[in-house]
């Protein structure tokens, strides 16, 4: 799969292998999940992280938008909502790389002139005939000149991320490497500073002028792991992205427990909410 179609620079981060149209606004996308990954496979290589499912679905939607709806490659995508549920216990790593199929249905397709300007799509992720995840995603896309106006001249070269504070222990968030820790303690049990390392090869696969959504979702994942230290692991995310999260201002992540298996995570910057996510957990 051409990596440009999924907005990735590294072939190793390109998860898709093929696609086909199956009906009006319906598509099937094939993927392959590696048995080892620097971030989205458990440290003991026994389970795929649900965020690998999220990235697969994101790539699938981006691919179809370019390949089937003819959105130019230089257009920018703005995620508004990403809701995903994975089936606990169905993401085990097997003796071969998993080859899931992602069944997409595009709805609420909006056009600006003759060009797609945004849409909502649903996804069913199937592996060996069984459903392992479902998702509902809403996004918009804008041409480069519009994006540049929205960003007020900010570019990857013109902004510098805030210095990295020391992170929480990697094991406390089920990560093997200190570099994969995205939360720094603040002295409060339910509040952390976001660690934004623009050299990270997964979150910043290519230069960006803002904090990527996948980094914010990882922050929600790690906050839920810290708040639910009882063995519950994140299996579902319902995320709203309110505005761009800037690199050069501190971001604060707060979490609180909701119902029995839910954690509400909110990201703020400059006193405004930039991101919120309800994380569903289940026993590992």
Q: Residue 191 pLDDT > 80, yes or no?
A: yes
Q: Residue 259 pLDDT > 70, yes or no?
A: no
Looking at residue 175, its pLDDT comes to: 93
Q: Are the CB atoms for 50 and 233 separated by under 8 Å? A: no
145 shares a domain with 7? yes
Report strand pairing: 252-257 vs 232-241: unpaired
Looking at residue 229, its pLDDT comes to: 63
Q: Estimate to the nearest angstrom the gap between the alpha carbon of 71 and the chain centroid.
A: 21
20 shares a domain with 85? yes
Extract the tokens encoding 84. 């995903």
Looking at residue 126, its pLDDT comes to: 98
Looking at residue 258, its pLDDT comes to: 63
Give which of 280, 254, 257, 273 is closest to 265, Cα–Cα: 254
Distance CA 132, CA 53 (A): 9
Extract the tokens encoding 136. 């509902």
User: Mean pLDDT over all residues of the chain?
Assistant: 95
Q: Which residues contact 10 (CB under 8 A, 6 or more apart)?
A: 3, 201, 205
140 shares a domain with 12? yes
Given 124, 149, 174, which residue is the final one in a domain?
149
* 3-50 tens-digit pLDDT: 999 999 999 999 999 999 999 999 999 999 999 998 999 989 999 999
Long-range contacts made by residues 147-155, C-beta under 8 angstroms, separation at least 24? 147/75, 147/76, 150/244, 151/209, 151/210, 151/244, 154/209, 154/210, 154/246, 155/209
Q: Are the CB atoms for 74 and 66 separated by under 8 Å? A: no
The position carrying tokens 């003819």 is 70
Q: Are the CB atoms for 250 and 282 separated by under 8 Å? A: no
85 shares a domain with 173? no
Name 126's bridge partners. 101, 131
210 shares a domain with 187? yes
Given 149, 178, 210, which residue is the final one in a domain?
149
85 shares a domain with 44? yes
Buried b (16+ CB within 10 A) or exposed e, 54-81: bbbbbbbbbbbbbbbeebeeebebbbee
Distance CA 91, CA 122 (A): 20
278 shares a domain with 163? yes
Strand order in the sheet with 191-194: 16-23, 26-31, 101-112, 115-127, 130-142, 76-86, 232-241, 272-283, 262-269, 252-257, 191-194, 183-185
Residue 46: phi and psi, rounded to 5, are -105, -15
187 shares a domain with 63? no
Looking at residue 261, its pLDDT comes to: 83
171 shares a domain with 125? no
Distance CA 247, CA 252 (A): 12
Residue at 125 is within a domain: yes
* 87-142 tens-digit pLDDT: 988 999 999 999 999 999 999 999 988 889 999 999 999 999 899 999 999 999 99
Strands in 188-271 per DSSP E? 191-194, 232-241, 252-257, 262-269
Name 140's bridge partners. 78, 118
The position carrying tokens 């939607």 is 61
Domain count, the chain: 2
Looking at residue 284, its pLDDT comes to: 67
238 shares a domain with 166? yes
Residue at 123 is within a domain: yes
98 shares a domain with 173? no
Residue at 52 is within a domain: yes
Structural domain of 245: 159-283
Residue at 195 is within a domain: yes
Q: Which has the minimum average pLDDT: 113-122, 228-237, 243-252?
A: 228-237
275 shares a domain with 254? yes
CATH code of the domain in which 215 resides? 3.10.129.10
Residue 224: phi and psi, rounded to 5, are -65, -40
Residue at 154 is within a domain: no
């Amino acid at each position: 799969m051409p990596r440009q179609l999924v907005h990735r620079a590294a072939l190793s981060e390109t998860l898709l292998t093929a696609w086909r149209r199956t009906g009006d606004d319906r598509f099937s996308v094939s993927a392959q999940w590696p048995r080892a990954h620097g971030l989205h496979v458990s440290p003991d290589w026994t389970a795929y992280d649900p965020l690998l499912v999220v990235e697969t679905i994101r790539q699938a939607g981006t691919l179809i938008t370019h390949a089937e709806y003819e959105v130019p490659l230089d257009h920018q995508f703005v995620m508004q909502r990403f809701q995903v549920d994975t089936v606990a216990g169905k993401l085990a790593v097997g003796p071969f790389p998993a080859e899931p199929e992602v069944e997409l249905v595009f709805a609420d397709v909006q056009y600006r002139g003759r060009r797609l300007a945004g849409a909502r799509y649903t996804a069913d992720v199937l592996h060996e005939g069984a459903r392992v995840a479902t998702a509902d995603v809403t996004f918009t896309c804008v041409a480069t000149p519009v994006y540049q106006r929205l960003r007020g001249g900010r570019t990857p070269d013109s902004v510098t991320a805030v210095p990295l504070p020391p992170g929480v222990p990697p094991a406390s968030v089920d990560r093997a490497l200190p570099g994969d820790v995205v939360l720094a303690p603040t002295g409060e049990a339910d509040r952390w500073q976001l660690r934004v390392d623009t050299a990270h090869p997964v979150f910043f696969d290519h230069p960006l002028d803002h904090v990527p959504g996948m980094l914010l979702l990882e922050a929600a994942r790690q906050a839920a792991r810290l708040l639910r230290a009882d063995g519950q692991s994140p299996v579902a995310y319902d995320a709203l992205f309110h505005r761009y999260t800037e690199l050069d201002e501190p971001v604060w992540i707060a979490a609180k427990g909701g119902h029995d298996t839910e954690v509400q995570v909110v990201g703020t910057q400059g006193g405004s909410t930039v991101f919120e996510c309800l994380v569903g957990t289940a026993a590992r």
